[in-house]
A and B are shown apart, each in its own frame.
Chain A
Amino acid sequence: MTTQALPLAQPQTSFWSRLGNARRYIMIATVIGILLLITVLIGRVENTVADIVASFIATTITFATPLTLGALSGLYCERSGVVNIAIEGMMLGSCFFGFIAAGYFKGLGLPDQTALWLGVLIAMFSGLLFAALHAVLSIRFKVNQIISGTVINILAVGLTGYLNRQLFFQQGAHQLQSAGTLSRMPIPLLSDLPLIGGVFNQPPITYLALILVIVTQFVIFKTVWGLRTRAVGEHPRAADTVGINVYKMRYANVLIGGAIAGLAGAFFTLQSVGAFEPGMTAGRGFIALAALIFGNWSPVGAFAAALLFASAQAFQINLQFYSALVPPELDFLKKSQIVGMLPYVLTMVALTGIVGRTTAPAEDGIPYEKGE
């Protein structure tokens, strides 16, 4: 099936290859460790090591939130056999509609936080609608799923850009108030912990992301629903034979994925920024997809990969902050574009199989034709 798939690392020879999937986590931990170390070495002139580490971890968790949610969104789709490269579009569309909804509810006189929560719900619902389009196209009409995803990505860019300008930036346009952002919810005791306290002093969508990682890990691998989902993704005909409704499982999982992508979208306008800008998801959906593949289609693996990509972002921000302290021979680290390439290069390295082969669900992307 593969074209000359010669694994780069010869199996069963070296110690490295015998580590199997653990290689991935070792690589992730090493890279995060190195990035953190460089940050500490540069920043310790101005701040205590503990402060630098604590802020690095908190920033990483914040950046990891949309990536984690996006990856989980893709996970439900792809485990059931529907490829989702439309995470980006679903996130962009839902972050726009969630933002409008929050502003609308604020206009009705609701308190800011209530309006924001309703906005989150609308964002999830619009993610679900985009997913419904993807599901109908790829399950009912059996459109090539990568093309269907591309349709949604283009549609989301066009629709949000058009509506944003047409509704709010024309003569006599509507005035939309921003309801601000969701407030932080520090968890008593845990938020006072040294170093990792920042993880427990976050706005709610971050907590939801962390909870969803654990819930998804349990649902996919320990429940009947998860077993059926994996069955229709790996061998739909066998699943059909034992009475599982392949189409129903796929529809349900794609819709769940859409709602989660909507939550990821809500992160941008309702938790992070408090305003909408065209194209504000800036490719995070594609990085989330890369995290899913890097993490080998497992929730915990995808979360680890999301942390890796987020730490590269945190590293970038920290270097900008400590820009004056960067020694001249490491000047290239100040070029945010160069450091910013790190996640993409790492993803490509991961795909070569050096850090353990990635294995997609067997029937991912292949429409199911019910036989007679």
Chain B
Amino acid sequence: MAKATVVIPPSAPKPNRFSGLGQKILVPILAVFTALVIGGLIILISGGNPLEAYRGLIEGAFGTTKAISETFIWATPYIFAGLAVAIAFKGGLFNIGAEGQLALGALAAAWLGYGLPRMLDTTIPAIIHVPLVVIGGALAGGLWGAIPGWLKARTGAHEVINTIMMNYIALGLVSFLLNGPMKDPSPTNVIARTPSIAETAHIGTIFANPALRVHWGTLLALIVAFLIWWLLWKTTVGFEIRTVGTSSGAARYAGINVGRTIVLTMFLSGGLAGLAGAVEVAGLNYRHELSFALGYGFDAIAIALLGRTHPFGVVLASILFGAMRSGATRMQFLTQIPVDIISVVQALILLFVAADEIIRYVYRIRAPKEEVIMTRGWGG
């Protein structure tokens, strides 16, 4: 587990106009801005009108109360999945497997939602059923995430390659189950999806207006973000996770059980990704479908990095990414510019956040770099 600080230490820390929080969010904001400018250039070159496109994007994301509701609908799984990647980063681990963990969490939640009441041949009261579905989904994702953690602790096998492999295994498993044993048996169904979950498993919507689909899962995401912050900075477990992430050698000297902490970190990380899937099932889709969980894994990495691996940063980054996703549909409708441009912009954001030297150079920012510590190479 080779680790090092990806930093050049500040040669002479000078007092700066942007201090404290302002300094922390300046570079991400400039990264987003620069990515939007370059994305606009790509739109221009390929024959579109970037100003119209971005107007459609903003309108679709914040133009109406319905648009804002949709933005938060998108942001909710992003918050959970972004926290999943962020907590792994804090523990010095790179979880590329959020996608698979999320899919399994959704699958488990869906089964607990439709299958369990049938198996028990009874209706489960909502006060028990909803928590059961949500916690069950988190556990499924957590266990799936803990496997690469355990393999790393036990054999030193690198979590990056193992989480990628387990994404494909999860995809195969989910695809098999959704096309076979768990497929919605109704005669009209031709899609790989589960039956609908029982009404008692539904997470309710916040507003009475049926056009506003935003549900209590969004609030749960915000609470969980706060809990993760509390866990990381106010508890012994969090201290151990961060210490192992900073230096596993030092952690071992301090008497921390490094192997156990790695497994725990990956369990928590997978559990958060599983929560993303479970809340999508119980709060929005009321079933799981093969195509629902695609693409969250890489988005979550970008969100975790854009949010500086801090829970509150993750929330802000998730709202931004949620806004782009929800606005993109409107943009495509108004201007015929394909929604895929959003992926390009997101990749550019990730690029400029990761290579913030470029941003610092372009905008002549002379501020100390923040330390980001994470796994590199294949270790061994």
Contact = CB atoms under 8 A, between A and B. Distances in A.
Interface of A: 1-8, 83, 85, 137, 141-148, 150-151, 153-155, 157-159, 161-163, 165-167, 170-171, 278, 283, 286, 289-290, 293, 335, 337-338, 340-341, 344-345, 347-348, 351-353, 357-360, 363-366
Contacts of B164: 85, 286, 289-290
A286 B168 contact: yes
A358 B380 contact: yes
Interface string B206-226: 000000000000000000000
Contacts of B346: 154, 158
Interface in B113-146: none
A348 B6 contact: no
A255 B372 CA distance: 27
A360 B156 contact: no
B19 interface: no
B157 A351 contact: yes
Given A3-B153, A348-B151, A154 B350 contact: yes
Interface stretch (B54-62, B195-203, B266-274, B354-362): B354-362
A4 B153 contact: yes
B354 A151 contact: yes
A83 B169 contact: no
Nearest to B357: A141
Contact of A154 (B162, B175, B336, B347): B347
A234 to B, nearest CB: 12
Given A167-B46, A335-B180, A366-B376, 17 more contacts: A1-B380, A5-B380, A85-B164, A142-B6, A148-B354, A158-B344, A161-B343, A162-B343, A165-B338, A166-B48, A289-B164, A293-B161, A352-B151, A357-B380, A365-B376, A366-B2, A366-B4
Contacts of A6: 154-155
B357 A337 contact: no
Interface residues of B, number: 66
A144 B348 CA distance: 15
A99 B305 CA distance: 34
Contacts of B4: 366
B354 A337 contact: no
30 contacts: A1-B2, A2-B379, A6-B155, A7-B155, A83-B376, A83-B377, A137-B351, A137-B355, A143-B354, A146-B375, A150-B298, A150-B350, A151-B351, A154-B347, A154-B350, A155-B344, A159-B344, A159-B347, A161-B343, A162-B340, A162-B344, A335-B180, A340-B172, A341-B172, A348-B157, A351-B151, A360-B377, A360-B378, A364-B378, A366-B4
B15 interface: no
Interface of B: 1-2, 4, 6, 42, 46-48, 94, 96, 151-158, 160-162, 164-166, 168-169, 172-173, 175-176, 179-180, 248, 258-259, 262, 298, 301-302, 305, 336-338, 340-348, 350-351, 354-355, 357-358, 372, 374-380
Contact of A155 (B47, B336, B348): B348
A352 B380 contact: no
Given A335-B180, A337-B176, A4 B338 contact: no
Interface centre among B151, B302, B343 (most CB of A within 10 A): B343
A143 B354 CA distance: 6
Contacts of A166: 46-48, 337-338, 341
B169 to A, nearest CB: 5
Given A147-B350, A165-B340, A341-B173, A3 B157 contact: no
Nearest to B301: A150
Given A3-B248, A8-B155, A344-B166, A155 B160 contact: no
B356 to A, nearest CB: 9
Nearest to A85: B160
